[in-house]
Amino acid sequence: MKQIKITLAEIAEKRNMTVDEIKVIISERIKFGMTSSNPEIRAQWKKIPSSNDIPTPEEWLQYVIENQDKYLL
């Protein structure tokens, strides 16, 4: 979890934003993907492990970090 906090802070700093602002943006994008009318998009987002129905920004970022090799060219 420490790496997640560091990464969120780095993203926020690079964008001249607060961590909370970054988390709001990520949350909005997660909700958009999870509620997409496209079932393939929804299925992709549902692969993210979560303690609730919708992943938190931290859960999303953890998933991205753990699975980055799958998505890099």
- Which residue range is the domain that position 43 belongs to? 2-71
pLDDT of residue 69: 81
Q: Which two three-digit tokens encode residue 68?
A: 């980055």
Q: Per the confidence metrics, is the pTM higher than 0.75?
A: yes
Q: CA–CA separation, 42 vs 60, rounded Å?
A: 14
pLDDT given for residue 71 in this prediction: 66
Give 36: exposed, middle or buried? Use CB within 10 Å, 0-12, 13-18, 19+: middle
- Residue 42's pLDDT is 94
Q: What is the mean pLDDT of each run of 10 residues along the chain (73 residues)?
A: 93 98 97 96 94 95 89 62
Q: What is the CA radius of gyration of the chain?
A: 13
Looking at the structure of the chain, the number of domains it has is: 1
The predicted structure's pLDDT at residue 1: 78
Q: Hey, how many other C-beta atoms are within 10 angstroms of the C-beta on 49?
A: 11
Angle at Cα 48 formed by Cα 50 and Cα 8, nearest 5°? 80
